[in-house]
């Protein structure tokens, strides 16, 4: 069967969600008349797959039929030989050729390979200039030699990764997790190349064997990205393209895992294990970081970032006349997300949001507001549109949150991360108020979940379970999805028992958190110190805590606190507060105390500037601290950046004033999550 490039794109778009003629025309940059002609021919193609091309007012054009038949049509599109490509696909192949090339390429050869004129190829090169400049790569044209790229190997890999992520679909990425790396479309196969596809499959097996050594959970999408990067790095090294520049990088759990992965790959491929390559893989492992509980441990908390996020949320409230500042879950979610995003942006790692176009369309006003406010609150960093879309997903999830009032339970399987699943969960509650309980999981974690206990299972990606046991939906929940969900809602007899267990589990969690906070606040004190030299003052504070049975080794604790300070200043800008926090076996139990110096001392702040510190906030935990204690300490630390008034309270308040403030805020947090 022959299909034009545009016809392939029309079918692909309609298999994802219903669209009207105008939307298709805008998406493919053609006239409505052109789309109507394409649809006339595609009626036959769809019917041959035992499906129906339906047109309904208010819904648009959709492909109706069994999911198995839809999947068969997707597979057919993927397996088609590429007889014609779009201009966008042609430029993608050109990018890949330039980025992979070992030396200059003749313009005439490139034109012949992509079946266009030399003039068209020259124009395409001009079009690519700005995209390549994002990665510090320059197109060089020399009459006698041809065309080549000038730039570092690291930059070329980052550009190739961005290219792969832009063109390889979510479904294709998920196939990597299942070990079916060959399940790629014809375009993706050509983009990756045959040897790269084989490498992806073998690298995935290596990563899967060592995956449990990662000290945290990562999303399905991040897992796939890591596999792609390792396969790309392996093939580049096989062709003698190594990253040469080493970094000043601390040895961490990610570093040790990167070293093991590189050693395993070196056994299978003709590559050598180089320090710079281990460091780059370490950076990618850290960039994929996503804590399973979606919370940062207090010792990892970047209070400068937390302060910026607080300001960001407050500015959004001012712009939109909302009360987002009252939602602690939003703050916590943005803190976890932006810690990763900032890391990726700082290291020029690609950020790609597959829902960007739909978010820009559906949340246009919110998108522009978030962009404007982010530029004001994060002036030192540029957020690309893909990242703005992720922020919109977090904020949109809060704005769309509705009060549930029924008793049906739903499981949502979502591979794109926390923002997507939260927004989807909240839209479900809003659009289908019969649903009260929405749980989310990833494809990697699905095997650990008893999905049969839920009234309905929804997924944004195809699942390796019986098709009758779940419904496939769009991440942004179309009208057709909502109708299908409503038809699927048949309460199961055991749902009441399940909900009781869920309620009891939540009560136990609240009880544990409350008990932990009460214990810490009963021990909390604000102590005046006598020593004037800062190191001596820290020792005096540690000795006091030893008397209170909170600490067992004064010298070791002081050393750990000073080591932590060396990693990055602990003074809080625009205050005289210093947040000294660590986890060590020198501490017996999680504790929070404050110590005031006689006179301010000059220390390094979190912004790298020298600043006066007069009040030391000490948050301490043992190495084997419980998750409940960590959450409690983390909550206290985030309160510090809530507002200027909070900073002043911690600077000047009494023991009773500070304890009462924390208790009141925490009570609201455990009861409402805000």
pLDDT tens readout for residues 542-591:
999 999 999 999 999 999 999 888 877 888 888 899 989 888 899 999 99
Q: Hey, CA dihedral for 257, 260, 266, 269, is it positive or negative?
A: negative
CA distances from 334 to 296, 351, 548, 582 (A): 11, 16, 37, 23
Distance CA 435, CA 566 (A): 50
The mean pLDDT value for 654-674 works out to 81
Q: Where are the domains of the chain?
A: 5-67, 88-287, 302-389, 408-492, 509-672
Contact 140, 125 (CB under 8 A): no
| DSSP assignment of 313-327 | HHHHHHHHT--GGG-
Distance CA 636, CA 291 (A): 19
Q: Which of 348, 345, 156 is nearest to 242 (CA)?
A: 156
The pLDDT value recorded for residue 463 is 81
The structure tokens 């602990």 sit at: 570
Other beta carbons within 10 angstroms of residue 405's beta carbon come to: 10
Q: Which of 140, 151, 84, 134 is nearest to 107 (CA)?
A: 140
Confidence of residue 640 (pLDDT cuts 50, 70, 90): confident
Structure tokens at 160: 């190739």
Q: Hey, CA dihedral for 356, 360, 363, 366, is it positive or negative?
A: positive
Confidence of residue 293 (pLDDT cuts 50, 70, 90): very low
Within a 13 Å sphere around the CA of 289, how many CA atoms are in the beta-carbon half?
22
Distance CA 277, CA 549 (A): 46
The pLDDT value recorded for residue 667 is 81
Structure tokens at 664: 């009141």
Distance in angstroms between the alpha carbons of the first and the last residue of the chain: 56
Q: 587-623 burial by CB neighbour count: b if 16+ within 10 A, else e? A: bbbbbbbbbebeeebebbbbeeeebebbbbbbbbbbe
Structure tokens at 347: 């290291």
Strands 52-56 and 60-64: antiparallel
The mean pLDDT value for 267-289 works out to 89
Contact 432, 489 (CB under 8 A): yes
Which CATH number fits the domain 509-672, given the four candidates 3.40.50.620, 3.30.450.40, 3.40.930.10, 3.40.50.300? Answer: 3.40.930.10
The structure tokens 């507001």 sit at: 369
Q: Which of 85, 141, 81 is nearest to 114 (CA)?
A: 85
Q: CATH assignment of 408-492?
A: 3.40.50.2300
54: which DSSP letter?
E
Distance CA 525, CA 527 (A): 6
Q: Which of 561, 552, 630 is nearest to 585 (CA)?
A: 552
The pTM score is 0.59
pLDDT at 83 over 60: no
Q: Which of 325, 336, 330, 392 is nearest to 360 (CA)?
A: 392
39-43, 255-259, 630-634: which is most confident: 255-259
The pLDDT value recorded for residue 374 is 94
Is the CATH number of domain 5-67 1.20.140.10? no
Say whether 408-492 and 5-67 share the same fold.
no
Structure confidence by residue, pLDDT tens digits, 592-637: 999 999 999 999 887 778 999 999 999 999 988 887 888 888 888 8
Contact 517, 590 (CB under 8 A): no
Distance CA 167, CA 144 (A): 33
Distance CA 299, CA 636 (A): 12
């Amino acid at each position: 069967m022959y299909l034009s490039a545009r016809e392939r794109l029309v079918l692909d778009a309609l298999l994802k969600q219903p669209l009207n003629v105008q939307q298709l025309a805008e998406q493919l940059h053609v006239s409505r008349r052109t789309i109507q002609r394409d649809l006339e021919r595609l009626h036959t193609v769809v019917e041959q797959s035992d499906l129906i091309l339906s047109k309904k007012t208010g819904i648009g054009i959709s492909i109706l039929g069994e999911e198995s038949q839809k999947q068969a049509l997707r597979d057919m599109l993927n397996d088609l030989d590429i007889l014609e490509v779009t201009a966008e696909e042609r430029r993608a192949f050109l990018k890949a050729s330039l980025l992979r090339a070992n030396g200059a390429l003749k313009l005439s050869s490139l034109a012949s390979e992509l079946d266009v004129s030399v003039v068209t190829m020259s124009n395409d090169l001009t079009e690519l200039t700005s995209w390549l400049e994002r990665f510090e790569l320059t197109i060089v044209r020399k009459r006698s030699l041809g065309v080549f790229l000038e730039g570092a190997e690291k930059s070329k890999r980052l550009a190739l990764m961005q290219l792969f992520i832009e063109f390889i679909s979510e479904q294709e990425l998920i196939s990597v997790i299942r070990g079916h790396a060959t399940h790629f479309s014809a375009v993706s196969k050509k983009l990756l190349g045959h040897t790269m596809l084989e490498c992806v499959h073998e690298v995935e097996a290596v990563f899967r064997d060592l995956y449990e050594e990662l000290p945290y959970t990562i999303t399905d999408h991040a897992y796939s990205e890591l596999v792609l990067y390792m396969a790309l790095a392996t093939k580049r090294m096989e062709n003698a393209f190594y990253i040469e520049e080493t970094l000043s990088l601390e040895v961490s759990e990610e570093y040790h895992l990167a070293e093991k992965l590189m050693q395993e790959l070196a056994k299978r491929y003709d590559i050598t294990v180089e320090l710079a390559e281990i460091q780059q893989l370490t950076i990618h492992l850290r960039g994929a970081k996503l804590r399973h509980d979606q919370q940062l441990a207090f010792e990892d908390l970047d209070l400068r970032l937390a302060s910026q996020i607080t300001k960001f949320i407050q500015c959004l409230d001012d712009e939109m006349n909302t009360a987002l500042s009252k939602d602690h879950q939003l703050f916590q979610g943005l803190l976890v997300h932006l810690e990763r995003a900032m890391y990726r942006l700082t290291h020029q790692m690609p950020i790609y949001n597959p829902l960007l176009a739909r978010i820009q369309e559906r949340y246009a006003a919110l998108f522009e507001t978030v962009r404007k406010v982010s530029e004001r609150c994060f002036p030192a960093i540029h957020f690309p549109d893909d990242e703005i879309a992720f922020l919109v997903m977090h904020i949109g999830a809060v704005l769309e949150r509705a009060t549930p009032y029924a008793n049906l339970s739903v499981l949502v399987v979502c591979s794109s991360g926390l923002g997507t699943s939260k927004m989807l969960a909240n839209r479900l509650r809003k659009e289908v108020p019969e649903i009260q309980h929405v749980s989310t999981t990833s494809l990697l974690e699905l095997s650990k979940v008893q999905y049969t206990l839920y009234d309905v299972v929804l997924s944004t990606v195809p699942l390796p379970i019986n098709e009758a046991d779940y419904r496939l939906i769009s991440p942004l929940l179309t009208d057709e999805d909502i109708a299908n969900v409503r038809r699927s809602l048949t309460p199961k007899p055991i749902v009441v028992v399940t909900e009781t267990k869920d309620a009891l589990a939540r009560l136990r969690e609240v009880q544990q958190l409350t008990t932990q906070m009460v214990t810490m606040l009963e021990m909390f004190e604000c102590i005046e110190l006598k020593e004037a030299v800062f190191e001596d003052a820290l020792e005096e504070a540690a000795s006091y805590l030893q008397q209170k049975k909170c600490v067992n080794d004064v010298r070791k604790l002081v050393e750990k606190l000073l080591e932590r300070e060396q990693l990055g200043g602990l003074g809080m800008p625009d205050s005289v507060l210093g947040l000294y926090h660590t986890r060590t076996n020198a501490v017996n139990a999680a504790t929070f105390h404050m110590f005031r110096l006689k006179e301010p001392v000059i220390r390094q702040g979190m912004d790298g500037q020298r600043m006066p510190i007069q009040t030391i906030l000490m948050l301490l935990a043992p190495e084997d601290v419980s998750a409940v204690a960590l959450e409690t300490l983390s909550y206290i630390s985030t309160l510090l950046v809530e507002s200027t008034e909070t900073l002043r309270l911690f600077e000047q308040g009494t023991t009773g004033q500070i304890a009462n403030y924390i208790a009141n805020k925490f009570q609201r947090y455990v009861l409402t999550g805000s």
